[in-house]
Amino acid sequence: MSDKVLIAASLLSADMARFERSMSEVASEVDYFHCDVMDGHFVPNLTFGAPVVKAIKRISTLPLDVHLMIEKPASWIDDYIGAGLSSKDYLTFHIEAEPNPVNALKKIQDAGIQAGIVVKPGTAATAIKGLEKFVNQVLVMTVEPGFGGQKFKEEMLPKITEIRKMFPDNVLVAVDGGIDETTAPLVYEAGASLLIAGNAIFGKPDPRNAARNIRFSANPNHFVC
């Protein structure tokens, strides 16, 4: 288990008419802004694409964690390179959506962007075996992708631990879906170190404090210097 808890605020739950203000409200308490790209096909919901990610990148004071929930992700990678993602940003896509993940991951890394693979709740850890050398992040979905504010699937905890053991220490294990003050310590204990939260941050009256509390609940030692 790593001591450092990283927090990403998922903009899916932010006020999309005022991204800049929502982001600056929480920026001091989070490490990344998580951007959920949905195409209405891979998931039954539609959000935004590369032009909006480009706009967010321009105004963000923090690195981005871009989560592609789209079919044929490889064919869109050039657009996300063009959106200005750089060496501190992550671009992740679903294993279920891409028949040739190694090529897609290499393409992202060759562009100087951190590459990541995502697994849905129904996908076993074995589906990403062999990708150890090609990923910088593995994202374990702890809800079905598509919507914010869903209930955390506790049965994903063993998969987080399995994936943590499968991948080298320098690969970030992330979790997305239903992360709040109660579930953060569970996923951290299981081996996740990047905690993505939407509703539990932006759905609260004081989003900055909510983000801080999630980090604290995962590992109170994080705040001890």
Binding residues for ligand DX5, per CB under 6 A? 10, 12-13, 34, 36, 67, 143, 145-150, 176-179, 196-200
Region from 31-39, 129-137, 183-191, 209-217 binding Zn ion, contact rule CB under 5 A? 31-39
Cβ proximity of 178 and 188 under 8 Å: no
Cβ proximity of 79 and 155 under 8 Å: no
36 is catalytic: yes
Cβ-count burial of 50 within 10 angstroms (0-12 exposed, 13-18 middle, 19+ buried)?
buried
Region from 47-55, 109-117, 153-161, 175-183 binding Zn ion, contact rule CB under 5 A? 175-183
Nearest-angstrom CA–CA distance, 75 and 79:
9
Residue among 36, 39, 89, 180 flagged as catalytic: 36
Phi-psi region of 206 (alpha: psi -120 to 50; beta: other; left: phi over 0): beta
Considering beta carbons, is residue 74 or 197 the nearer one to ligand DX5? Answer: 197
Among 9, 42, 67, 202, binds Zn ion (CB under 5 A): 67
Which residue type occupies 213?
Answer: N
What are φ and ψ of residue 190, in 5° steps?
A: -75, -20
Considering beta carbons, is residue 115 or 184 the nearer one to ligand DX5? Answer: 184
Residue 36 binding Zn ion, by CB under 5 A: yes
169 is catalytic: no
Considering beta carbons, is residue 156 or 197 the nearer one to ligand DX5? Answer: 197
Strands, DSSP E only, in the chain? 6-10, 32-38, 64-69, 90-94, 114-119, 137-141, 172-176, 194-197
- For Zn ion, the binding residues in 138-167 under the rule CB under 5 A are none
Active site residues: 36, 176
Residues contributing to the site for Zn ion (CB under 5 A):
36, 67, 176
